[in-house]
Chains A and B, each alone.
Chain A
């Protein structure tokens, strides 16, 4: 039963597959009742981390505790976790009702108590009218709900979701996202959510960890990660399209980009030197003055417009809030909003504050 706990700690988790290092030493703290997302491209180690938390993989090194108790070597069944798999892993030979009831049966819940619990879980995800169907007779969305119901019916202390929305179509994905969030609120269970879709992570998670190449590159709230990327790697990954990263020079509280000097009001105490300046496409404007750029291609996105341009041969993307005519090959002038410029150290690749 949900007892309000579910604090997960990973320390120095390593996992190798032969010569491939899947996890290179993961440290992570997930707070109780938090909705926590693991975000990263495929092969970055996020799914492996989830499977370590579930107990489906045993780490080669490191420890994992839940509520202070070491579970590094505990069997999955001993951890009181529930998981929704990417392909749902519904038991095809059982009805929806039997699928949802299965964990209860395995948990030794008396047979008479199972149906009401199953019905309740099914109601929560609104599939109580489908109880007697088999997975093969359900739509993708219904299957997904069934998997959700099977996961929540037992009230685990940890709720793990492995790319649960990736097999749904776009429309359904949006709806389900909202529903998942709602479900989390009502259940109050620590939820770990793996996704490669940053928009999903942003909108749904309380906090998130960004994975790259078997390492966590940043942990924080979606706002932190989006607005204060810790390092170049995160900066280059987060955002759609991600930040423009341009080499520049910092001098006297100002950054020099392509010969244009942009004064930064909020950073002045730093010594002069080379930097990498990051700025999101939406924080660039097209104006009469500014850095000259040659337009390569402009894309009409309906409400907004994405302009692909080049500054001194380097690609720059600009998101304009309204659609206007810009011809390919035309030269425009770009203005960077000074208070939205992020600076990174080209050597350590870390953020400069």
Chain B
């Protein structure tokens, strides 16, 4: 808690912060205010004669809207599944790669690939080149293995599984790279000590590795949860939220309400709901992080 208190510190800090803040305020204040404002309005382009102040109507409507709760449920499943998969697969892969004596660099490089690809491209590629029945290579492989045919994107549950696979494919490398780096940074003497204490591999993992990489795990969970909550482009390109509404997470539902149904008022309310949800989830995760570490 040392602090250097100089007279000019405050004004110097203000000087450094000001440009960024001015830009942020200028570019985000209006959109944010507009978003909130329109969530309290009736703005339905298809019915301009109804436009006007709606009070809490849009929010009230949300409570009784099955589509909203359906999308919330999907958002929860999608977020939970992708985060768990990314962490589990990423950690497994990291533990595995750490053990191979040579060629680790190849994995690091391959892991970069999905991360740098545009989600919209990934969604498009998976939709057709991977998943499409009678066309996609994955479909072919699954059939060849005698497991198919699976109608990947054409049936509700497989479609949800598919978009989760796509997300997991693209972002597990993130978890993998972070966890690989933290695992590599772990002090070897701890393991030697554990070995002397006759801990077996599983015990070593459970009692030493996991607690030691906990900070990294928590960060990964936080960042991945935030990204999963705001996922859009890949699902949009792969399924458009379908079939039916089987993959229509809240983000897509808000998009459809605003841009397809043209109900901007309700769409804004849904966007606000998503914002609040994201803040709650990330806030809770951040709280867990600071509460446990301090």
Give the interface of A toward B (CB within 8 A). Answer: 17-18, 51, 56-58, 73, 75
Q: Is B1 an interface residue (CB 8 A)?
A: yes
Does the CB pair B4–A57 fall under 8 Å? yes
Which residue of chain B has the shortest Cβ distance to A58 in the bound complex? B5
Complex contact A17–B5 (CB within 8 A): no
Q: Determine whether the beta carbon of B5 is less than 8 Å from that of A57.
A: yes
Contact in complex: A58, B6 (CB < 8 Å) = yes
* Interface mask (B3-15 → A, CB under 8 Å = 1, otherwise 0): 1111110000000
CA distance A18 to B3 in the complex (A): 12
Chain A residues whose C-beta falls within 8 Å of the C-beta of B5 in the assembled complex: 57-58
Residue of B nearest to A51 (CB): B2
- Cβ–Cβ contact A17 & B1, under 8 A: yes
Q: Min CB distance, A163 to chain B, in Å?
A: 15
CB pair B1 A56 closer than 8 Å: no
The interface residues of chain B lying within 8 Å CB-to-CB of A18 are: 1
14 A-B residue pairs with Cβ-Cβ distance under 8 Å, sorted by A, are: A17-B1, A18-B1, A51-B2, A56-B2, A56-B4, A57-B2, A57-B3, A57-B4, A57-B5, A58-B5, A58-B6, A73-B7, A75-B6, A75-B8
Closest to B5 in A: A58
**Chain A interface mostly helix, strand, loop or mixed?**
loop
A-B contacts at CB below 8 angstroms, number = 14
Complex CA gap A73/B6 in Å reads: 8
Interface size on B, residues (CB 8 A): 8
**Bound-complex Cα distance A15 to B5 (A):** 12
Find chain A residues with CB under 8 A from B3 CB: 57
Provide the residues of chain A in CB contact with B6, threshold 8 Å: 58, 75
Inside 8 A of A58's CB, which chain B residues have their CB? 5-6
Residues of A within 8 A of B2 (CB): 51, 56-57
Question: A18-B1, A57-B4, A73-B7 are known contacts; what are 4 more A-B pairs with Cβ within 8 Å?
Answer: A51-B2, A57-B2, A57-B5, A75-B6
Q: Closest approach, in angstroms, between the C-beta of A77 and any C-beta of chain B?
A: 10
Determine how close the nearest CB of chain A comes to the CB of B5; give it in whole angstroms: 5
A17 CB contacts on chain B under 8 angstroms: 1
Minimum C-beta distance from B18 to chain A (A): 22
Those 5 A-B pairs whose CB atoms lie nearest each other, nearest first: A58-B5, A17-B1, A56-B4, A75-B6, A73-B7
Q: Which residues in B have their C-beta under 8 angstroms from that of A75?
A: 6, 8
Docked Cα-Cα span, A58 to B3, in Å, equals 9
Write the chain A residue with the least CB distance to B4: A56
* Nearest chain B CB to A16 CB, angstrom units: 11
Q: B4 contacts which chain A residues (CB < 8 A)?
A: 56-57
* B147 shortest CB reach to chain A, Å: 55
The residue in chain A whose Cβ has the minimal distance to the Cβ of B3 is A57
Q: What is the bound-complex CA distance between A57 and B4, given in angstroms?
A: 5
Distance from B9 Cβ to chain A, minimum over Cβ atoms (Å): 10
- Expressed in whole angstroms, the Cα–Cα distance for A286 and B206 within the complex equals 58
With both beta carbons as reference points, the residue of chain A lying nearest to B7 in the complex is identified as A73
How distant is the Cα of A221 from the Cα of B1 in the complex, in angstroms?
A: 33
**From residue A99, how far is it (CB to closest CB) to chain B in Å?**
21
Inter-chain CA distance A180–B169, complex, in Å, is 61
B residues less than 8 Å from A56 (CB atoms)? 2, 4
Quote the shortest CB–CB distance from B11 to chain A (angstroms).
Answer: 13
State in angstroms the CA–CA spacing of A75 and B1 once bound together: 20
Query: Nearest-CB distance from A85 to chain B (Å)?
Result: 12
What separation, in Å, do the CA atoms of A226 and B1 have in the docked complex? 34
